[in-house]
Amino acid sequence: MEEPFTVRRVDFGKVGLAVLFLLGLVAGAFEWWLVLGVILLLLVGLYAANPRTRFINALYIAFLIGFAFFQFVNNWVAATDIQREWRIIFNRLSLSIIILGLYITHLLYKQPISFFHQKPNWHTQLKLRGHAIPVFRFWFIGLIVNIAVYIPFIVMQGMEAVKSLLFFALFFSLINAVFEELIWRGPLFSSLLRHTSIPYTLAVTSIGFGLLHLAIGIPFLISLFFSIAGLFYGLVVYKTNSIYPGTLFHFVLNIGMVLSGWILS
């Protein structure tokens, strides 16, 4: 896990698969089913044509099919009279459909499944433009900065509003952080890392993480901005070899989003 950030020769076949996968996420998020169907057919064609990339291709296909089911299920729930807060919780819980698809794909291809379920290794450094920073400092500074950004907005909501949102904030944030990290920094991340490279893995999982937010109504540019957070989480998982620091950061960030009124606005 401590290999250097070397740039290998570009594998245009794998890059093409990644582009199709990310376009599929956009199509699924906007419910362009015909476009998604064409993308899936292209992926199936490439699966048959290139045995070398079949496992990666299968992961992308499983993810997009799971994402389509995720959308169908949540459209059905949205048509019911369930309270809005519970619809949001159900939306986050139904991310398990995507996780299940990735898990089954690993089993079918007899590939190792890693959720980075271990104690974080903080004794590493992150090199940025020739400067080395301890990964714990990198993580902690990011956490403090995000908390500082949300505090003024939370204060503006008033104490009564914060109290009324506290239970939902904790419940939503826990589910969302755990499930999104399992999707993007779990088996998919570890398998891409094993079969491709760290730049490729970070690019796909970070951009994909951002684009998935299109499905819950986040504007396109803001969703792309979320990719920066995905890159942060990915770097932390890669350097600590653990999913827990990124999940904790994600949990705290989500609490700030809820208590500032952004989620339920």
* Cβ count near 193 (within 10 Å): 20
Output the pLDDT for position 139: 96
Burial class (CB in 10 A: 0-12, 13-18, 19+), 45: exposed
pLDDT given at position 10? 65
Tokens 């109290």 appear where?
A: 163
pLDDT tens, position by position, 95-135: 999 999 999 999 999 999 999 999 999 999 988 777 889 99
pLDDT for residue 1: 47
pLDDT digits (tens, 9 = 90+) for 188-218: 999 999 999 999 999 999 999 999 999 999 9
Pairwise CA distance, residues 21 & 254, whole Å? 26
DSSP-derived 3-state class of residue 117: coil
Query: Per residue in 55-74, pLDDT tens?
Result: 999 999 999 999 999 999 99
